[in-house]
Structure 1
Amino acid sequence: MQCSTRHVVMLGLAGVMAWLWPALAVAHDHPEKHTHLTMTNQPRTAMSWYRDIVYDRTYADPDRVSLDIYVPDPVRERMPVVLFVHGGGFRSSDKAYYKDLGSKPDWLTRDMGAIFIPMNFRFLPDGGYPNSVQDVANALAWIHDNIAAYGGDPERIVVLAHATGIFSGGLAVTDEQFLRKAGKSLDLVKGFIGVDGGFFDVTSGGGFMRNLLPSATPEQLRAASPIHQIARGKAIPPALILYGGQGGDVGPQSEAFAAALRQNGFMGTAIEMFSKDHFTVNEDIGIPGDETTIAVARFLRSIGVGTTPEAQPAGGR
C-alpha cells in the first residue's frame, strides 16, 4: 500500500479555533497526536490522517496532484468514500484549507462511517479545462485501485465538489472520456454532490469562462459543459445539488442540471439553502443539525453510502 505520514487526529469539545487547522496541515516525518477543537460540542472521536499521497506521478509538482485520506479510527471494512474537490477558480485554495474542510472530516468519519479524501489539482495556467478534470478522474482511479488497503469500499465512491470544483467534478462524472483515459468508466462513481457552482452550462462563455477558455468555439464550450454531457444510456450517478440563496445564475443552473438528469432517466435533486451564501453552504456541511448536513446525509443514505450496520471493525492495519 502506498502510504504517507499517518496522523491520529483527536477531535474534541470546544469552540472555533480557526488558527489551529493550518498548524495541523504541516507535514511531519513521524506520526503525532493532535487535538482538533471543532466548531460545535461533539463527542471525542479519532481518525487516522494520511497526508500528501501523490495520485499522478507524471506531473512535475507532486503537491498539485496529491490527496489526503481521513479514515475512521478504529478502521472498519468496506467503508464508503467521499472525494472532495474544492473551489478557488483554479487559482487558489488547498485540500487542507480549514474553511473548505470545515466539519467534514469529523462528521463524515464519525457519523457517516466514511473515508474522506480532499484532493489538490493543477492550477492555471496548467489547470482548468481539460487538465483539472483529468486530475479528478486520475484521483478517482487511484482511489478505486488503492482505497481497499485503507478499509474503503472501491464500489462506493462519491464526489463532493464546491464552486469551480463543480466544473471539474461534474465533467468527470458525466463525460466518460476522462475516466476512460484513467483506465476506468463512469460507473466507478456512485454519487455526485455539487455545492453552489454555476458551471454546469458554460456555453454563454461569459466572465470566468472567457478567462478559462478565451478562444473556445461554441462547440468547445458545449463540450466543456456538464449539462450537455448528460445522455440516456450513460452510467451517470445520482446527484444532489445544493445552492445558496444569494441569487445570480447558480440557482437556475443547478435546477437545470438536476432537471436534465431527471429528463434522461437519472436521479437529480437541487435544493436552495435560503439562509446560506456561496461559502457557508459548503463550510456548514457537517455541523450537526444544519440543513446542509441533513440534506447531504439523506442523499448519501439514499444511495447506500453511509454507516452500514453490517460493517465490522477490521482486524487491524
Structure 2
Amino acid sequence: MIAATVRTFAPELWSSVDYFRFFYIGTHSFNSDTTKAISGVRNHFQKALILHQLSTKLLPNLSNDEAEIQSKGYTPATNAKEFSAVLEEVFTELYSSIDCTRKIIVAIYRRTRGLPDSTRKLFHRVSDGLLGNDFPDELKHAIASADWYDELLAIRDELTHSDIGNCMIDRDTKLVTYMHTGIYRNGIPLIITDVMGKLQFLIQSINTFLEAVFHFLNSQLEITTIDQLCGIFFGRAYLRTLTIEPSIDLNSGICQSHTWFDHDVQFRCPLANSCGAYTRAKSPHQPKPN
C-alpha cells in the first residue's frame, strides 16, 4: 500500500474567492444557502473552465458532420449537437457563478435600502443608479462595469428552457458560428459568429468581475485565525494555524503538527526544513521571512 502524499496548502494559487472562502467565518455568520453559494462561486466557474476545455477537444469533430454531408448529402449533426450542448453549459455555469456572488452580497448588505434579492434586479438597479450611499461604491463600480451582463442574462434565460442550438465552422473564416432559433434579437435568431471568442471574452470578464468583488469583500473582513490543512504526507494530515493577512505564502502561519511529528522521525513533515510555519512554531517570535 502506498501512503497518500499531497500538498493541499497552495496559497500561491488562491484567488480572491478562495481567500474569502477560507476567512469569512471570522466576520460573517451565514445561513446554509449562502454557505453553499460561497462554494458555488468557485465551483460553477471551475465547471465553466472545464467545459470550455472540453469544447476545444470536441471542436475537431465538427468536420465529421461536414464530411458526412459531402459523402451522403445529409447529416444528423450529432457532433454539432454534442459540441453545442457543451458550449451552452459554459454560458449557464458562468451565470451561476454570478448568481452565487449576488447571494453573498445580499447576505452581507441585506440592510441596504432597496437591495433586491435577484441577480438581474441588482445589476439593473446599480446601472440605473437606484441604490443609495449605504451600498459600497466598490461593488457599484464592479457591477456597473459589467457591460457583458445583459447579453449573458438573455442567453442564459433562453438556454434554461430551450432545445440545443447548433454550431458550424465557417468555411471562409474557420470560426465557429453558433445559432439558436429559440433566442431572438431584434426579431431574428441569435447568431454568434465567433462563439469560442465570445466565451473566452466572458470567462476573462467574469474572472475580473469576481476578483474585483471579492477583493473588496476581503478588505472588509476582520482579522481571524483558522486551522488550515497543509497536506497529506505518509498517509497523515498535517495542519497549521493561519491568520488573515494581505499576503499569504507557504511560510505563513504556525505549524500545529510538529507537536507529534517531532517525536516520530518517520513522519517528520517533508517541508519542515524549509517551512517558515515550522520555524515559527519552534521559535514563536520568529518573524515571517521576506
**Category of TM-score, reference length = shorter chain:** under 0.3
Larger helix share, 1 or 2: 2
TM-score, L = length of structure 1 = 0.23
Where relative contact order (Cα < 8 A, 6+ residues apart) is larger, the structure is 2
Larger strand share, 1 or 2: 1
